[in-house]
Structure 1
Amino acid sequence: MENIQKLIARYPLVADLVALKETTWFNPGATSLAQGLPYVGLTEQDVNAAHDRLARFAPYLAKAFPETAAAGGMIESDMVAIPAMQKRLEKEYGQTIDGEMLLKKDSHLAISGSIKARGGIYEVLTHAEKLALEAGLLTTDDDYSVLLSPGFKQFFSPVQYRRRFNR
């Protein structure tokens, strides 16, 4: 209890949390995207380009990986109720937890299995797009499900890749 009292003395808002009062807190250090983004090594244009690229690839992903079709070809993870964990925490801490405790299952992403893998898939998509655009086989206005065609499968085949890049 001593640690809680120190925490409350330092951050009075914690008293409301301990009392289970509905609480709203806004990070006083929050800033705008324009102010914060330069510190993460990305620009707003990078974020927009990534969003646009994933939207362009959505038709391809929906067809290549049918498990993504329900999400429109987006790589998303489910949120599920975890009542057993909620009960265990209530028992452990002697407190009722109002509402429903949820878990975002990024470990069960439709095609990648982890956030790191999702980033890896994005890198592969970026590279594939770059190659196809540079070869004049694709434009950003195309329906990217065309990447499933035999011509693109041939273009991206390991043999053709080695020939193009002398590897």
Structure 2
Amino acid sequence: MIREKVVIIVGAVIVIVGLWLYLFLYHPLARKLKTVRAECKVAEEEICQAQEAMSFLKVTDIRRGPVAPGETSLAINELTRQGKLNGINFLSITPKAVEKCEWATCEILPIEMEIESSFGDLGIFLGSVDDLEKSLVTVNEFYIIPESRDARKLKTKLVLDIYIE
């Protein structure tokens, strides 16, 4: 009989300790875990929305300035690509001798061009020279000669300066 009472008392103590652990430790931690889980879900949704918004952003190369000496052909290619997108017909492209820049430590590579275009296309092309992504190019001089056969077409001789580091 004593042994049965001890088993009952030990069982009751185990039940009471278990109930106490559940009420004072497990249950509060479970509630806290539930609120933290809800906060994590909200944060995950915000991250997904931010990632979607970032995927639509256009990444551009911020490196705009003088080109490296070995990259002048890339700058000329970028310039001609931009011109062709704007309807420019390049008749000739002639790089001239590199000149020292008077006001900075860089050098200037003059590019003499002869192009054929309409007046509107020429304006768009000259405006787009400022929008080149990987090189710094300025218009040094230009001469416009209207074509005798078609007044809508212009022949233009211009010199563009590409700045080299």
TM range (shorter): under 0.3
Larger relative contact order (CA 8 Å, sep ≥ 6): 2
Normalized per residue, the structure richer in strand is: 2
Structure of greater Rg: 2
Normalized per residue, the structure richer in helix is: 1
